[in-house]
Amino acid sequence: MMLQQVSAPHLRAGQSTEEIMLRVLLALVPGIIAMAHFFGAGVFTNIIGACIAAVLCESLCLRLRDRPLLLYLKDYSAVVTAVLLALALPPYSPWWLITIGTVAAIALAKHVFGGLGSNPFNPAMVGYVVLLISFPVQMTQWTAPSSLAANPGVWDSVLAMIGSEAYDAVTMATPLDLLKQNDGFMVSALWQQYPQFGRFSGVGWEWINLAFLAGGVWLLQQKIFTWHAPVGMLAVLGLMSALFYDGGSSSSGGSPLFHWLSGATMLGAFFIVTDPVSGATSNLGRLIFGALVGLLVYCIRVWGSYPDAVAFAVLLMNFAAPFIDYYTQPKPYGYQARDADK
């Protein structure tokens, strides 16, 4: 066993992992409420299912690795991963889908690499991408927002989760799907044609994104993360969509507001890109990391074959993060003078 060496400033930050994770969960609440308002009880069954699977899987992994159970379960990192994954899944997902995703996230993406703090990829996003590639049909069926079709009730969502055949929900293409499959319509014509579009982006989606934005801003104010990564991502995403907006013509990629308030943009910008483990570590590095995530999100959304791209963009940049760190290491204090001698 290696003895841990703690280097000089022995000041305590005053924030434990447990505290940070609890605040992240709290900041997710407005977004969860908004999602539940528009997509119904299926959001909660997703979250409950994922949390149970995550805690069980985490316990099993800790047991296999001979680590103290309570100490690690108490840091709530598994629960945060589970909630993030559950929010990314379509509401009313069956239990096996949730379980496979959670196991991929907790076991494959986290514990195999040495547990929390060593995982090079964001666990929730690994779980999501594994599911998206393995079960594309189940992963792309989004329920219609409540203002367009009645959502299934609580009992129906439980039935949906245990995979009962009796249950049927109204699914609709999401606004990002519609814009991607658009051929030959002006953006304004598209807006009139489909009821899924709202004021700026999709019905419901704009409020969900605003709610996640509110939670994210609160976390920023609490100094859980710095502004660099989210601002970098949103700025480049906005810049790209402004450049290719094309005045709303039939080949338009959508307006900046549409991209900011669609799909997983805000959830990604404030809860995924800011992951302190799998992202870049210096402030400059975070800015670059976020900016490139924004660029990739736009490119894959508009020119790739997947309608939303936050998960892929984040994984691709997780891959590049150690290299970004390699070139953006801040100079140690007092290093300047010796550097000038060279």
Q: Is 26 in the site for another protein (CB under 8 A)?
A: no
Nearest to 16 by CA among 76, 79, 104: 76
Q: Is 155 in the site for another protein (CB under 8 A)?
A: no
Is the CB of residue 140 less than 8 Å from the CB of residue 180?
A: no
Using the rule CB under 8 A, which residue among 115, 195, 198, 276 binds another protein?
115
Q: Is 113 in the site for another protein (CB under 8 A)?
A: yes
CB of 231 to another protein, least distance (A): 23
CB of 273 to another protein, least distance (A): 15
- Of the CA atoms within 13 Å of residue 139, those in its CB half-sphere come to 20
Q: Is 316 in the site for another protein (CB under 8 A)?
A: yes
Q: Is 118 in the site for another protein (CB under 8 A)?
A: yes
Q: Is 130 in the site for another protein (CB under 8 A)?
A: yes
Separation of alpha carbons 290 and 294, rounded Å: 6
Q: Is 129 in the site for another protein (CB under 8 A)?
A: yes
Q: Is 237 in the site for another protein (CB under 8 A)?
A: no
Using the contact rule CB under 8 A, the part of the chain among 23-31, 124-132, 247-255, 328-336 near another protein is: 124-132
Separation of alpha carbons 109 and 121, rounded Å: 7
Q: Which is nearer to another protein, 132 or 144 (CB)?
A: 132
Separation of alpha carbons 7 and 102, rounded Å: 36
- Of the CA atoms within 13 Å of residue 263, those in its CB half-sphere come to 26
Using the rule CB under 8 A, which residue among 94, 120, 195, 248 binds another protein?
120
The 28-67 site mask, x for binding another protein (CB under 8 A), equals: ------------------------------------xx--
Which ranges in the chain belong to alpha helices (H)?
Answer: 17-39, 42-64, 69-73, 77-88, 95-103, 123-134, 136-139, 154-161, 175-181, 187-193, 205-221, 228-243, 256-260, 265-267, 283-303, 310-327, 336-341
Q: Is 295 in the site for another protein (CB under 8 A)?
A: no
CB of 247 to another protein, least distance (A): 22
Q: Which is nearer to another protein, 111 or 286 (CB)?
A: 111
Cα 1 off chain centre by? 35
Q: Is 276 in the site for another protein (CB under 8 A)?
A: no
Cβ-based neighbours of 184, under 8 Å, separated by 6 or more: 250
Separation of alpha carbons 77 and 82, rounded Å: 9
Site residues (vs another protein, CB under 8 A): 64-65, 108-109, 111-115, 118, 120-121, 126, 129-130, 133, 296, 299-300, 303-306, 309, 311-313, 315-316, 318-320, 322-323, 325-326
